Structure 1
Amino acid sequence: MTMRGQWLKQLCGGLTVIVGLATQSLAATPSQTTPTRVGPVLVNVEARAGQDLSGAWHWSVDPYRDGLAGFHGAEAGPGHRRHDDVDVDAVTRANPQALYEYDMRRSPVVHLPASWISHDETMRYYDGLVWYQRTFTATKTPGQRAFLRFGAADYVARVYLNGKPVGIHEGGFTPFAFEVTSLLRTGENQVTVGVDSVRSADTVPPTVTDWETYGGLTRPVRLVLTPATYIDDAWVRLGDDGRLRATVRLQGTRPGDTEVRVRIPALSLTLKGRTGADGSWTGDAAEPSALKRWSPEQPALYEVTVEAGEDRLVDRIGFRTLEVKGHDILLNGKPVFLRGISLHEEELGKNPTRAMTPGAARALLGEVKHGLHGNFVRLAHYPHSEVMTRMADELGLLVWSEIPVYWRVNFARGETLETARRMLAENILRDRNRASIAFWSVANETPVSDARNAFLARLAADARALDDTRLVTAALLIDRVQEKGQSVMVVKDPLVSHLDVAAVNTYNGWYSDDALADLPGIGWRNDTGKPLVFSEFGADAQAGFHEPGLKRKFSEEFQAEYHRQTLAMSEKVPSLRGLSPWVLKDFRSPRRQHPVYQQGWNRKGLLSETGQRKQAFDVLAEHYRKLEARQAQPEQARAP
C-alpha cells in the first residue's frame, strides 16, 4: 500500500496546525489507500481521568477577526488578542495609558456546550468568529500527560492555554484533542478558544446546505489526564469469521513491549498479549457460547475493561455481525428490513441550541423506537454527538453515520479530500465500539462527475480499511426515465460499485409535479445487485395547518397522503431493504423562508419542533407496525 494522504503537523511557535496534504492524483486506485492518521484519539473519553470543562464560559463576538490580525494585516496587538493570559482590568489600573478593546473576564457568560445562536437574539444568523474563555484549577503531577479534548467546534477552532497557542482544528462535527502537558500549570489555568463558523466552496460542508450552521462549542470540552504511556485507541468487536477480536494502540514514552489485557467479566473472557514496537496489539478468541448478540430486539451490552501499564478504560460494548448477501442486509446472519427515519442533531423545543444531553437524545430516539416502531435511524448529514450513538446502543437502534460531504463539494481539490478523509477517520475512530453503527456514509446528494467519483471512492476505501465490520453507503441522487410510457426510477450511479448498499433520496410528488395517486405506479429498476434503501423521502407540513379537501402542500393532510402513496410505491420495489423518511422533527434551516409555513424551519418533520405529532407520524408508525409483525413471522409465512 502507498500513502495517498497524511496529516501535516507544523510546529510553529508551539502551535500544532493540522491540515490535509494531497500526495497523489485523485485518480489513483482507491484500493491503494492508507487511511489518514489522526490523533490523539482518546477513545471513550468520558471514562478517563480529568475534568469536564462544560459550564460557564465568557464569550466575545469578533466579526472582523480583530483578535487574529490588525487592520493592516499584522499580528493582533496586545490590546486586541483575546487569548492573552492577562487580567485586563488589573493591567489598565496599573497602567492608565494601556489601551485594551476587549476584556474577556468581564464579557458576558454563557453555559456550554451550546451554539451561539442561543447566546443572544442578535446572534441568530451570525456567521463569523466568536471567542470563548474560562479558567479552571488543576494540579500538575510528574509523569502525567494532559490533553484538551473537544467533542466538536463548528467550524474552525483555534485553541490557547494560558496565553499560548496549542492547535487549530477544521471541521464542525468530529472530536479532536491537543496535548497541553508542558503548558498546564498547578493552580489556575486559562483556556481560550476562537471558533470561526465561516465556510467556503472548499470546506466540508461548503457554504450551501439545508440546515442551521450552529456555530460554537456545541459538544463538551474536557481536560484529560493520562499516564506517561496511555491507551489511545481500543477497538473490541465481533468479526464475521465468528472471532471476538480486540485491537489496542498505546501512545507515550514506552508504547512498545507492554502487556495489554482485555477482559469481559460476564463472559469469563480475557484476551492478553504484548504490544509491538509501534505500540499496537491485536488478539482474538472464539465467540463465547454465552454471548448474546446485540440487536434492536435485544440490545445486549457488556462491560469491557482494557488495561495496559498504568492505564485502564471501561466501556459498555455490544457485539453483532453485519453483511450483505444479494439484496439482503444480514444482521447476525438473518435478513433485516430497516424501519427508520432521518434525524438532524437538534433537541426538541422552540429554541434548540444543539446541546445534546442524554435526556434530549432519549426523547428523540425514543420517538423512533417506541413511537414509530423503528429499528433504524439515519443521523444526517454529519457525525452526531457520541451521546446519540451511545443512546442508540442502549435503546436498540441501528445507525447510519455520515460525514458532511454534501451537495457542491470541491471534489477536484486535494486539500478538500484530505479534510474529508480526516473527518471520516475521526468519526470512525470515535464510534467503532458502538454496536448500533451499521453504516458509514460518505456523502449525500452529490452530482456525478469523474472528480466526485474518485473523491468518494477514496472515502469508501478508507472506511473499509478503518472498519471491516460495518457497511459502506452514500445517499445518492436517482435517475428518472420513460420506458414504454411509464416513469421508471433507475439506480445507476457509478459510485454504487464501491458501496455495500445503494441508497437513494426520492421526492416524487413533492419536488415533482406527480399527482400523489400516481406514485404507486412509478416503476423502479435496481440492476446493481445490491440492497436498496430509500435514504430520504418527505413532504413539508406545518403542524396544525389543515385542509382536508384540498390537500394543499404544507397541510398535514397532504403530508400524510404523500407518505401513504410513497409507502405504497415502496412496497413494489423488490430489492428495497430499508426506509429512512425525511425527517423525524422540523429543524432550523435559513434557506426555508415562507412567511407562513416555514419561517426559517424545514417542515418535513413528522413532529413539530416542539414534538407535536403530525398526521403523517401515525401513517408511518402503522406501516412500520405491520412490517415489524411481518418480520416476526416465520420466513415461509411472510408475504413476498
Structure 2
Amino acid sequence: MKTFVIALLAVLAWPLSGVAGAAPATAAAAAAQPAAQTAADFRPADSRSTDLRPPDLRPQFLLTGAPSRDSQDLSGQWTYSKDLYRTGLTDINGWVAKSRMQRYRDVDVAAEEARATTDFYEFDMDRAPQVSIPGAWNAATPAMRHYDGLVWFQRKFKSPAPDGGRAFLRFEAVNYRAYVYLNGKEIGRHEGGFTPFVLEVTGALRGGENRLTVGVDSTHDAQSIPTFITDWDLYGGITRPVRLIRTPATFIDDATLALKADGRIAGEVRLQGEKAAGQRVTVAIGTLASATATTDANGRAVFDIKAPAKLERWSPDTPVLYDVRFAAAGDTVSDRMGFRTIAVQGSQILLNGKPLFLRGISLHEEEFGPNPARNMTEQASRALLTEIRQGLGANYVRLSHYPHSETTLRLADEMGLLVWSEIPVYWTVDWENPAVLRKALAMQAETIYRDRNRAAVVMWSVGNETPVSPARTAFHGAMADNVRALDPTRLVSAALLVERGKENGEDVTVIKDPLVDKLDVLAVNTYAGWYGNDTLDALPGLKWQVPADRPLILSEFGADALAGYRNDGMKKFTEEYQAEYYRKTLAMADRIPTLRGMSPWILKDFQSPRREHPVFQNGWNRKGLVSETGVRKQAFGVLAEYYRGKAAAAGK
C-alpha cells in the first residue's frame, strides 16, 4: 500500500494521459512511436500540468452544446484499410513507417501510380472498401467480426476556409485509441472508447476538398480501461458521429447550469479566444428568467440566479425541459435542460425533496437486430428506451458499463428516465499503476463535462464488480473524490460484490467493502439462483445484513433464457426458469429494508465472446428480458407487473 501511495503522488507530476492532445512535432515522429503504446507514449506532448485539481482534468476544448452549433456532419461512407501489423505507424524494429505504408498521407495514389515512377504504394485509401460511419467495424463484414487491431478510415469532404473564425473536429467516440490526421498533418490523439474529444483544425483546414484520416486501434491490454477481458463485445471503430464545427474567433466553449438544494440556479460560462476577458455574457431560461455576468481574466463568468417561481422541476412524471440560451462575444449556444435536485437522507433517495424508488433495468449500448454495430441513432436509442419507459413502466436505467451516447442521454432527459452513468473500471485494472488511475480520472472528467447539463443523470458510478484490495480501494477512492470535486450536485455509487457467511447458523449476505465509506448510494450485484447452488425456492428466505444509514440498490441480478425455449421443465435457459427466478428474487428484495431501487441484468440480449454454448448462446449473453431482435420473454411481464405495483403503492 505504501508503494502505491508514493506512486499516486508521483502521478500528480505527470502530463495528463488518456485525453485528446496535440500531435508530435512531425508525422515522422508519430510514425516512429512503438507498436505497443505505453501511457507515457500516448500522452499529449504539450501537457505540463503538475497537479490533479479539477482544472487539470478539463479537456482543452469542450464545445458544450455542440448539437446546436454550426456544424458539418461527416457521417456516411468512409473507406477503410486493415493494418494488423501497424505498418502505417511504425516499421520493423520501431523504425519510422515507410512512406509507401503511411495511410494518412495526403496523396492521390492512383495519380502517382499513373506517372510510372520508381515509387510504389502498399495502400490506396481512395480505392479501399467502404464502411458506414458511425458504426463498429465488427458489423461491416463477416471477416471483420472479430478483428482486433488497427484500422485506418478516410473521409473526403469539402469545406470553405475558416476565414477569421475557428474550426474543430468533434468526435463523439472512437474505440479505443484514435490517431487523427487532416490533409496529411497529425492533429491529435485520444485514448478511451466512449467519451468525446475535440481537436482544433483551423490551421490545417483548407478551402475546397479535405482529406480526413483516422487510425483506430481497438486493442486492449492490462493498462487500458477496460482491460482485454470483459463480458461484452469490445467493438472497434468510429462508433459515434464526427462533426466539423465552426465558431467565431472568440467563442463559448462551456456553459452549464444546475438547480442547487437552496433553490437557486448556479452555473458558469467559459469563453476561449483572444477577447475572452471582460465579455458580457447573458443566459436565458426559456421566458422565465435571464441574467448577465462579465467574464474574468480567464474568460469565466459565474451565475447564481434565484429560481423562477414558475419553474417546473424535472422528474420522471414531469420531464420538463427548458430552452436555455447562452450568448457572449457574438457567439450563442442553446441547450434543452431540466432542473431538479437529487440527495440522500438516511436510507432514502430524495428527488426534488421527495422519497423515490428506482424502478429500473440495466442496458448495454447495442441496437436491436441480429448484427448490431453500436450505431445509436435516435431511432435505435428510442426503441430501447421505450421498452424500458413504457413497456416495463420503469423510471430509471443503469447505463452499463461505460458512458453511453449523447443521443441516449438526451432522450432520457426527454422521456423521463433517471440515469446511472459509469466508466469501464470493470472487474480489474492495473490498480497500482498511477498512469492507469490518471487515465480513469480523465475519462471520468470527460464524461462529467459532457453530461453535467442532463437532468436525467443522478448517479456517477466509480466501478463494477472489482475485487477488494488496498490498492483497488485507494484507486476507487480517488475516483469518488474526483466526482465530488467536478460535480458535487449528483450522487456517487459503485456496483459492489457481496459475500455469503454464517451468522447464528444461518446464511447471511453482507457487504464487506471499505469503499462503502466513499459512496452515497450502496449498490450490489447478486446472482443467487443462477450462479452457485441456491435453489429458486431458497431465494425469498435469503437474509441480508446491510448498513441501515444509506440506501441500497440491487444494481444487477438475472438469469439466462433463450427466447422461445419453453415447456422443458424448469431447466436453466428456459423462459420459465428465468421468469420464476425473477419472482423469487423480487420476493427476496422486498425483505431488504433499505432497498431503494434495482436495475436487473439486463434489458436485451447482447453480444459477448465469453458466451459460446452452441445451442443457447452462440456469442450472446442471454440474460436479456427481450431477445436481440426485440422478442419479449416471460420474465419481462413479471418485472413489468412488479413495477406497476411499486408505482401504484407510491401513488404514481
Give the TM-score, by structure 1 length: 0.95
Q: In the alignment, which residue of structure 2 is the partner of 1:381? A: 401
- Comparing 73-82 with 298-307, greater Cα deviation is found at 73-82
Q: Letter of the aligned partner of 1:504 in structure 2?
A: V
Q: Letter of the aligned partner of 1:433 in structure 2?
A: N
Q: Letter of the aligned partner of 2:163 in structure 1?
A: P
- Distance in 2 (CA, whole Å) between partners of 1:18 and 1:412 is 19
SS at match of 1:368: helix
Q: In the alignment, which residue of structure 2 is the partner of 1:91? A: 112
Q: In the alignment, which residue of structure 1 is the partner of 2:234? A: 213
Task: Identify unmatched segments of 5+ residues in structure 2.
Answer: 1-8, 31-41
1:10-36 C-alpha deviation (Å, 9 max, x unpaired): 6521679645999999xxxx9x87762
SS at match of 1:469: coil
RMSD: 1.9
- Distance in 1 (CA, whole Å) between partners of 2:604 and 2:525 is 18
Q: Letter of the aligned partner of 2:423 in structure 1?
A: I
Would the alpha carbon gap of residues 536 and 12 (structure 1) be closer, same or farther in structure 2, given more than 3 Å must change? same
- The question of 1:394 aligning with 2:406 is answered no
CA-CA distance at 1:126 after TM superposition: 0.7
- Distance in 2 (CA, whole Å) between partners of 1:203 and 1:505 is 24
Task: Give yes or no for contact 1:491–1:528 (8 Å, CA) kept in 2.
Answer: no
Task: Give yes or no for contact 2:359–2:643 (8 Å, CA) kept in 1.
Answer: yes
Task: Give yes or no for contact 2:23–2:44 (8 Å, CA) kept in 1.
Answer: no
- The question of 1:295 aligning with 2:315 is answered yes
- Comparing 213-222 with 519-528, greater Cα deviation is found at 519-528
**Equivalent position to 1:284, from 304, 308, 313:** 304
Q: Letter of the aligned partner of 2:347 in structure 1?
A: H
Would the alpha carbon gap of residues 222 and 543 (structure 1) be closer, same or farther in structure 2, given more than 3 Å must change? same
- The question of 1:408 aligning with 2:420 is answered no
Q: Letter of the aligned partner of 1:317 in structure 2?
A: M
Q: In the alignment, which residue of structure 1 is the partner of 2:36? A: none
- The question of 1:132 aligning with 2:153 is answered yes
**Equivalent position to 1:541, from 543, 553, 561:** 561
Task: Give yes or no for contact 2:22–2:188 (8 Å, CA) kept in 1.
Answer: no
**Equivalent position to 1:75, from 96, 101, 105:** 96
- Distance in 2 (CA, whole Å) between partners of 1:364 and 1:122 is 28
- Comparing 269-278 with 386-395, greater Cα deviation is found at 269-278
- Distance in 2 (CA, whole Å) between partners of 1:500 and 1:22 is 34
* Alignment map for 1:76-225 (pairs within 5 Å): 76-225=97-246
Q: Letter of the aligned partner of 1:559 in structure 2?
A: Q
Q: Letter of the aligned partner of 2:126 in structure 1?
A: R
1:280-303 C-alpha deviation (Å, 9 max, x unpaired): 111111111101100000100000
1:491-537 C-alpha deviation (Å, 9 max, x unpaired): 23111111110000000011111000100111111126211000000
Give the TM-score, by structure 2 length: 0.93
SS at match of 2:92: coil
CA-CA distance at 1:465 after TM superposition: 1.2
- Distance in 1 (CA, whole Å) between partners of 2:651 and 2:585 is 24
Would the alpha carbon gap of residues 86 and 35 (structure 1) be closer, same or farther in structure 2, given more than 3 Å must change? closer
- Distance in 2 (CA, whole Å) between partners of 1:453 and 1:412 is 11
- Distance in 1 (CA, whole Å) between partners of 2:588 and 2:466 is 24
CA-CA distance at 1:120 after TM superposition: 1.1
SS at match of 1:67: coil
Q: In the alignment, which residue of structure 2 is the partner of 1:420? A: 440
Q: In the alignment, which residue of structure 2 is the partner of 1:638? A: none
Would the alpha carbon gap of residues 398 and 249 (structure 1) be closer, same or farther in structure 2, given more than 3 Å must change? same
Indicate the percent of aligned positions where both proteins have the same amino acid.
53
Q: Letter of the aligned partner of 1:562 in structure 2?
A: Y
Q: Letter of the aligned partner of 1:398 in structure 2?
A: L
- Distance in 2 (CA, whole Å) between partners of 1:85 and 1:380 is 39
Would the alpha carbon gap of residues 14 and 175 (structure 1) be closer, same or farther in structure 2, given more than 3 Å must change? farther
Q: Letter of the aligned partner of 1:595 in structure 2?
A: P
CA-CA distance at 1:164 after TM superposition: 0.6
SS at match of 1:427: helix
Task: Identify unmatched segments of 5+ residues in structure 1.
Answer: 634-640
SS at match of 2:635: helix
- Distance in 2 (CA, whole Å) between partners of 1:35 and 1:165 is 24
- The question of 1:442 aligning with 2:462 is answered yes
Q: Letter of the aligned partner of 2:614 in structure 1?
A: P
- The question of 1:364 aligning with 2:376 is answered no
SS at match of 1:79: helix
Would the alpha carbon gap of residues 52 and 160 (structure 1) be closer, same or farther in structure 2, given more than 3 Å must change? same
1:316-374 C-alpha deviation (Å, 9 max, x unpaired): 10000000000000000000000000000000011100000111111000001000010
* Alignment map for 1:478-627 (pairs within 5 Å): 478-527=498-547, 529-547=549-567, 550-627=569-646
Would the alpha carbon gap of residues 33 and 145 (structure 1) be closer, same or farther in structure 2, given more than 3 Å must change? closer
Task: Give yes or no for contact 1:492–1:528 (8 Å, CA) kept in 2.
Answer: no
Would the alpha carbon gap of residues 85 and 528 (structure 1) be closer, same or farther in structure 2, given more than 3 Å must change? farther
Task: Give yes or no for contact 1:35–1:425 (8 Å, CA) kept in 2.
Answer: no
SS at match of 1:12: coil
Would the alpha carbon gap of residues 34 and 99 (structure 1) be closer, same or farther in structure 2, given more than 3 Å must change? closer
Q: In the alignment, which residue of structure 1 is the partner of 2:39? A: none
Q: Letter of the aligned partner of 1:459 in structure 2?
A: M
Q: In the alignment, which residue of structure 1 is the partner of 2:339? A: 319
**Equivalent position to 2:360, from 325, 328, 340:** 340
Would the alpha carbon gap of residues 222 and 440 (structure 1) be closer, same or farther in structure 2, given more than 3 Å must change? same
- Distance in 2 (CA, whole Å) between partners of 1:579 and 1:608 is 21
Task: Give yes or no for contact 2:22–2:189 (8 Å, CA) kept in 1.
Answer: no
- Comparing 161-170 with 33-42, greater Cα deviation is found at 33-42
1:461-512 C-alpha deviation (Å, 9 max, x unpaired): 1111111211111111112111122211112311111111000000001111
CA-CA distance at 1:193 after TM superposition: 0.2
Task: Give yes or no for contact 2:162–2:202 (8 Å, CA) kept in 1.
Answer: no
- Distance in 2 (CA, whole Å) between partners of 1:72 and 1:103 is 24
- Distance in 2 (CA, whole Å) between partners of 1:101 and 1:71 is 16
Q: In the alignment, which residue of structure 1 is the partner of 2:4? A: none
SS at match of 1:446: coil
Query: Which stretches of structure 1, 4 residues or more, deviate above 2 A after TM superposition?
Result: 2-12, 14-25, 32-35
CA-CA distance at 1:165 after TM superposition: 0.5
1:63-121 C-alpha deviation (Å, 9 max, x unpaired): 11111112242111121110000000000111342211110000011111000011111
SS at match of 1:374: coil
- Comparing 502-511 with 65-74, greater Cα deviation is found at 65-74
SS at match of 1:266: coil
Task: Give yes or no for contact 1:4–1:34 (8 Å, CA) kept in 2.
Answer: no
1:244-286 C-alpha deviation (Å, 9 max, x unpaired): 112111112222111111111331x112111111111111111
- Comparing 281-290 with 567-576, greater Cα deviation is found at 281-290
Task: Give yes or no for contact 1:4–1:33 (8 Å, CA) kept in 2.
Answer: no
- Distance in 1 (CA, whole Å) between partners of 2:228 and 2:23 is 30
Q: In the alignment, which residue of structure 1 is the partner of 2:24? A: 12
- Distance in 2 (CA, whole Å) between partners of 1:128 and 1:592 is 22
SS at match of 2:613: coil
- Distance in 2 (CA, whole Å) between partners of 1:134 and 1:528 is 56
**Equivalent position to 1:270, from 290, 293, 303:** 290
- Distance in 2 (CA, whole Å) between partners of 1:14 and 1:167 is 11
- The question of 1:461 aligning with 2:461 is answered no
1:422-446 C-alpha deviation (Å, 9 max, x unpaired): 1000001001100100111111001
Q: In the alignment, which residue of structure 2 is the partner of 1:432? A: 452
CA-CA distance at 1:230 after TM superposition: 1.1
Would the alpha carbon gap of residues 616 and 542 (structure 1) be closer, same or farther in structure 2, given more than 3 Å must change? same
SS at match of 2:57: coil
**Equivalent position to 1:228, from 249, 259, 262:** 249
